[in-house]
A and B are shown apart, each in its own frame.
Chain A
């Protein structure tokens, strides 16, 4: 009797396994949103990114005859958590596209999983330009922005306006190192000097010691190669120590609108920042942002907009060729120009880099802001082919050297 039960149970399990395995290749298109849901980067991405992906899924309607599924998970800013989640999603849960992944160290780990499994990943959150450089991957797309663009748009603008000596306060991991490296190159190429740097553990509450070191360096510009709550804390505490009164300026190299909201305009006014998106730029961005805000309660950050844009382009590609096959879909995504509310004639390059226009914004003074979240004014538009690294300069093994 016991033996019969065991045999029956085993058969049922095997049948279940067989059914779910079959379901993966014929099943609906599944998108997995992987990001930081509860830590220092939760506001720029987080649960709202899932909403953005769901909006893209809804707008695409039926893809391959079925509704698109969206799932999500928290990578906790840990590369091992992120890569095991990616593995599970690709191998067992039938996920066809992983999207978002802020925190460059996690993104680099997931990039390797995507390369190994030959499955598609779209990076909207992370910054490191290595993703399309030495670590480039035929199955990845770096969608929104990267450290090279930030360095070249913000960095050049700051150097051009007289900021020729720099001191970096850097988040001590892949992203901070990449951002510092790319910006230092811009500074030096423009004839400026880097007077020093300090590597700060991610998620630090108190920057007073590092700000004192920056003050002591007498550099004209304090480059903040960090993001999220780290940037907010640096600027807030910088005000306390009279950094700006002392004649030095902050160059916040990566700022999201959620950071400006957290700082308040009084503290953030005058900051120059580079972004591929701002909710109030034109009628199209406003229309999307209103839809988003109705569901989430605030306008989208560049990451949220990027998740929608990336997911929508992927789904368009799948619909166009009628299959989920990763190689064919990647080829189709490269062949189709990217056109949506945030992108005009964007192009997905061979090395995985999406070439799009980048915008230099300045944070408004409190008196200039007429409504909640009315924070930026546009200073300059930099065309994509000037903002991003030329394809042959990145050491990407996929790019054939002529």
Chain B
């Protein structure tokens, strides 16, 4: 009966630590992407399926900037999110603002359709194998931690995403701007009566969410191929992460991102064949036990 668990042998502890670290790094991507989704859903009540395409756009912006404008990685970390945020704001102004009052499903369908269009256009021009993008020279090489060689770039990914996640949480939970945002979600009419420009805040929030996705995309460009398919590959998993953490909860999104990255990492060691599906299994279990997710507020 245990024949379907062929790899159930505990690896030596150093190797296990290495795998946990890898899981954390992947979790960092999940955390950043689900943060953007959670912010957009929490503030705008839109299920933003275009998030994966915005992640891909961020990576492509970095690649295009390098190959056509000679702009390297570090400026791209700022410029790509700005560019994608601008594109996102255009999207929001043209399409999304008309459907806020409608059922969530419309937002999902619209953003899904937009994602397919964006991805299709890029696939038409760039194929599916992906483009090469090198790790910036300052981050090349690896450090010998004793139990593994940790590539410097991957260490940078964890630090950058932690910084972004903590920064965003601080912005939303501890600053006045964040307070306005949260108030506007609760009662937009009243907040507008106080003289705060709610529609503009909403637009900027969507842009910010898109920028988060693009930032994750630039971080991903040197280690995953810059490919038109990179968004659709990851977005389904990220949605599962957000559902587990609770839609709309920022802390939930970040925490479940990291935790699920680690769980997936461990699955890759013990039963790699299931590594694609383990997050969805967890999602199914969590939904059965706690339908609103771990940190979510019941809708």
Contacts and interface: CB of A to CB of B under 8 A. Distances in A.
Interface in B252-276: 265, 268-269, 272-273, 275-276
A172 B130 CA distance: 22
Interface in B193-237: 223-225, 227, 229-230, 233-234
A232 interface: yes
B129 A259 contact: yes
Contacts of A213: 11, 15, 269
B185 interface: no
Contact of A206 (B19, B129, B224, B227): B224
B22 A262 contact: no
Contacts of B276: 201, 204
A316 B33 CA distance: 55
A181 to B, nearest CB: 16
Nearest to A211: B22
A24 interface: no
A212 B129 contact: no
Nearest to A201: B276
Contacts of A267: 132
B237 to A, nearest CB: 10
Interface in A168-223: 172, 198-201, 203-206, 208-210, 212-213, 216
A264 interface: yes
A212 B148 contact: yes
B220 to A, nearest CB: 9
Contacts of B272: 172, 198-201, 209-210
Contact of B229 (A39, A210, A232, A263): A39
Nearest to A240: B151
A261 B129 contact: yes
A263 B132 contact: yes
Contact of B225 (A209, A233, A241): A233
Interface string B131-158: 1101100000010000011010110000
A201 B142 CA distance: 27
A258 B11 CA distance: 36
B11 A216 contact: yes
A169 B234 CA distance: 21
A229 interface: yes
- Overall SS of chain B's interface: mixed
B25 interface: yes
A228 interface: yes
A38 interface: yes
A284 B275 CA distance: 46
Given A209-B22, A229-B227, A40 B135 contact: no
- Number of contact residues on B: which range applies? 35 or more
B127 interface: yes
B48 interface: no
Interface string A216-252: 1000000000001100110011001110001000000
Contacts of B22: 208-209, 212
Contacts of B273: 172, 199, 201
Given A39-B128, A216-B15, A232-B130, A209 B269 contact: yes
A401 to B, nearest CB: 33
A334 B153 CA distance: 55
Contacts of B15: 212-213, 216
A40 B229 contact: yes
B224 A209 contact: no
A54 interface: no
Contact of B131 (A40, A46, A262): A262
A202 to B, nearest CB: 9
Q: Which of A198, A201, A206, A229: most chain B Cβ within 10 A?
A: A206
Interface in B1-42: 7, 11-12, 15, 18-19, 22-23, 25-26
A199 B271 CA distance: 9
Nearest to B144: A242
Contact of B233 (A199, A205, A240, A241): A205
Interface of B: 7, 11-12, 15, 18-19, 22-23, 25-26, 123, 127-132, 134-135, 142, 148-149, 151, 153-154, 223-225, 227, 229-230, 233-234, 265, 268-269, 272-273, 275-276
29 contacts: A38-B128, A39-B128, A40-B129, A42-B123, A199-B272, A199-B273, A201-B272, A201-B273, A203-B233, A205-B233, A205-B234, A206-B26, A209-B19, A209-B23, A210-B268, A210-B272, A212-B19, A216-B15, A228-B129, A229-B130, A236-B132, A236-B223, A237-B223, A240-B151, A240-B223, A258-B127, A258-B129, A262-B130, A263-B132
Given A200-B275, A212-B148, A229-B128, 11 more contacts: A42-B127, A199-B273, A205-B224, A208-B22, A212-B19, A212-B22, A237-B223, A240-B142, A242-B151, A259-B129, A263-B132
Interface of A: 38-40, 42-43, 46, 172, 198-201, 203-206, 208-210, 212-213, 216, 228-229, 232-233, 236-237, 240-242, 246, 258-259, 261-264, 266-267
